[in-house]
Structure 1
Amino acid sequence: MIPSDATFAGTFPFAPRFTEAPGFRMHYVDEGPRDGEVVLCLHGEPTWGYLFRHLISTLSRTYRVVVPDHMGFGKSETPAGRSYWLQDHVANLEAFVLALDLTGITLVMHDFGGPVGMGFAARHPDRIRRIVSANGPTPFGQPDLFDRLVANAAVSPWFQWIARAAADGTLEPVLGNLGFNILSTLKLNGFENNAIITDTWIDAYGAPFATQADCLGALGWARGFANDAHRFETPTPAADRTIRDKPALAIWGEADRTLHAGHFLPLFSAIFPSGHIERLAGVGHYCFEDAPDAISELISDFLRRT
Structure 2
Amino acid sequence: MKNHLTISSQSFSISSEETFNNTWPYKPHFKEIAGFKMHYVDEGQGEVILALHGESTWGYLFRHLIASLSSDHRVIVPDHMGFGKSETPQDRSYLLQDHIENLEQFVLDLDLKGITLVMHDFGGPVGMGLAIRHPNRIKRIISTNGPTPLGQPGLVDALMKNGATSPWFSWIFKAYEKGILEQVLGQLDYNILSTLKLNGFENNDLITETWLQAYRTPFKTPEHTLGAIGWAKGFAEGAHQFEPVEAVTAKELSKKPALAIWGMADKTLQPEHFLPLFSEAFPNGKIHRLEGVGHYSLEDAPGEIALLIKAFLKN
Instruction: Answer whether TM exceeds 0.5 for this pair.
Output: yes
Hey, what does 2:14 align to over in structure 1?
2
Kindly state the Cα deviation for residue 147 of structure 1 after the two structures are TM-superposed.
0.7
Verify the 8 A CA contact 2:255 2:284 in the aligned structure 1: no
Check if 1:216 corresponds to 2:226: yes
CA distance in 2, matches of 1:272, 1:63: 24
Q: Output one character per residue of 1:50-72: Cα deviation in whole Å (capped at 9) or x when no partner.
A: 00000000100000000000000
Verify the 8 A CA contact 1:38 1:104 in the aligned structure 2: yes
- Which structure 2 residue ranges, 5 or more long, are not aligned? 1-12
Q: Could you say what secondary structure the match of 2:89 adopts?
A: coil
CA distance in 1, matches of 2:51, 2:40: 10
- Within a 5 Å distance, the mapping from 1:77-156 to structure 2 comes to 77-156=87-166
Hey, what does 1:64 align to over in structure 2?
74
After TM superposition, the score normalised by the length of structure 2 is 0.95
Kindly state the Cα deviation for residue 271 of structure 1 after the two structures are TM-superposed.
1.2
Q: Output one character per residue of 1:203-227: Cα deviation in whole Å (capped at 9) or x when no partner.
A: 0000000000000000000000000
Verify the 8 A CA contact 2:19 2:25 in the aligned structure 1: yes
Kindly state the Cα deviation for residue 118 of structure 1 after the two structures are TM-superposed.
0.4
CA distance in 2, matches of 1:79, 1:258: 28
Aligned equivalent of 1:171, options 181, 192, 195: 181
- Within a 5 Å distance, the mapping from 1:276-295 to structure 2 comes to 276-295=286-305
The letter for the 1-side match of 2:246 is T
The letter for the 2-side match of 1:236 is E
The letter for the 2-side match of 1:54 is H
Verify the 8 A CA contact 1:29 1:67 in the aligned structure 2: yes
Verify the 8 A CA contact 1:22 1:93 in the aligned structure 2: no
Aligned equivalent of 1:262, options 263, 272, 278: 272
- Which structure 1 residue ranges, 5 or more long, are not aligned? none
Aligned equivalent of 1:192, options 196, 202, 217: 202
Kindly state the Cα deviation for residue 21 of structure 1 after the two structures are TM-superposed.
2.8
Aligned equivalent of 1:39, options 31, 35, 49: 49
Hey, what does 1:18 align to over in structure 2?
30
Verify the 8 A CA contact 1:176 1:211 in the aligned structure 2: yes
Aligned equivalent of 2:313, options 291, 303, 306: 303
Aligned equivalent of 1:228, options 233, 238, 261: 238
Q: CA RMSD in A?
A: 0.6
Verify the 8 A CA contact 2:96 2:126 in the aligned structure 1: yes
Moved more, 274-283 or 237-246: 237-246
Moved more, 17-26 or 83-92: 17-26
* Ranges of 4+ aligned residues in structure 1 off by more than 3 Å: none
Verify the 8 A CA contact 2:263 2:291 in the aligned structure 1: yes
Verify the 8 A CA contact 1:248 1:272 in the aligned structure 2: yes
Kindly state the Cα deviation for residue 241 of structure 1 after the two structures are TM-superposed.
1.8
Q: Output one character per residue of 1:2-22: Cα deviation in whole Å (capped at 9) or x when no partner.
A: 110000000000000000033
After TM superposition, the score normalised by the length of structure 1 is 0.98
CA distance in 2, matches of 1:222, 1:37: 34
Kindly state the Cα deviation for residue 196 of structure 1 after the two structures are TM-superposed.
1.1
CA distance in 1, matches of 2:308, 2:89: 37
Q: Could you say what secondary structure the match of 1:243 adopts?
A: helix
